[in-house]
Copies of this chain bind each other. A is one copy, B any other.
Amino acid sequence: MSSEHPTEPDGSDTKDRARRTDAKRSFNALVQAARDVFASSGVDAPVRDITGKAGVGTGTFYRHFPKRGDLIAAVFRNEVDSCADAAPALAENHPPLEALAAWLHRYSEFIATKRGLASALHSGNPAFETLPAYFDARLRPALSQLLERAAKAGEIRTDLDADDIISAVANLSMPARTARPDHTRRVVNIFMDGLKSR
């Protein structure tokens, strides 16, 4: 489900050869290493930290991500993919309301842990311009699926759509400066309670 090669342009291939397997391996290793390093050191971490953890040279890094923002965008896309892909899995293994709650917390964690995200989106960097659309395209269907299932079961109110909920939970999950540790989880729970039909 998750696209390991997110930005392939139109299907036209003037290329006579396919992308080499070592290139794919490097690409994935870099995205994964970057995710770890970003989590511990923030999105401004040195390139050498990432290449070191990925076990590739700096030249390889710049071959795959000519602009630094390209890597950050790839990491975000990768994480959004994981989050979206969690929805069908949850739907299969849990009752409707439970699956919905679990996914909202999953999504909330994604927002809360990505400090750099909001800044990146507002930075004006062209590498990030397509991200919001991508987020929407992946997350809305994922949530819609869970919502519809819960709505069919008559377990939630129906006067909010996926968009409302995605942005509401995002705002709730923005880490507040003065918040107690479990703050986000609690407010999202409250929101979730409000979502239930009475």
Q: Which residues of A contact B (CB under 8 A)?
A: 115, 118-119, 121-124, 129, 132, 174-175, 177
Contacts and interface: CB of A to CB of B under 8 A. Distances in A.
Contact of A122 (B121, B132, B175): B175
Going nearest first, the 3 A-B pairs with the smallest beta carbon separation are: A119-B119, A115-B122, A132-B177
A40 to B, nearest CB: 13
A119 B118 contact: yes
B132 A123 contact: no
Contacts of A123: 115
Nearest to A119: B119
A38 to B, nearest CB: 14
Contacts of A115: 122-124
Nearest to A131: B177
Nearest to A177: B132
Nearest to A128: B177
A21 B124 CA distance: 40
A159 B7 CA distance: 51
Nearest to A175: B122
Contacts of A119: 118-119, 122
A134 to B, nearest CB: 13
